[in-house]
Amino acid sequence: MASGITKPIYVLSGPNLNLLGQRQPGVYGAKSLADVEGECRSFAAQNGFEIICHQSNHEGDLVSWIHEAGNEGSAVAMNAGAYTHTSVALYDAIKGVDIPVVEVHISNIHAREAFRHHSMIASACLGQVCGFGTNSYTLALRALADHLDSTT
């Protein structure tokens, strides 16, 4: 896997994900964001590619990192947090880059509050991984690596 990936995959996390392990552990689990990023780095290293991790509570930072990934990266795994349900700016940023993006969610957004059922970014993404806890991140990386390998 991932033998053809020469540019890093970006792992982007949006608002409140810096509180992983503290905020609603019954929904989001006990692992910190640093733990999740460590698991992603291990997965990437085991599969022969590099990742770049960023987290921000600010929508514009996420937009800028998507643009950066479009120039410097091969793909994006992104947990946009609450911006998933509200951000046309993230949708436009994803549509504006020529790399695959996978939407990531720790919880199953379709089994939660009604306002979480709609994703503003889903139709711009290659796919969506949700409901597998923090493993959703590495599942997204696996999907992206497999996709990139199949298209190179």
Q: Please list the active-site residues.
A: 28, 105
Taken in order 82, 24, 41, 43, the sign of the CA dihedral is negative
Q: Is 86 helix (H, G, I), strand (E, B) or coil?
A: coil
Closest listed residue to residue 9, CA positions, set 56, 43, 60, 59: 43
Residue 46 CB: number of other CB atoms within 10 A? 10
Q: At what angle do helices 33-46 and 135-151 cross, to 10 degrees?
A: 30
| Cα 85 from Cα 65, distance rounded (Å) | 19
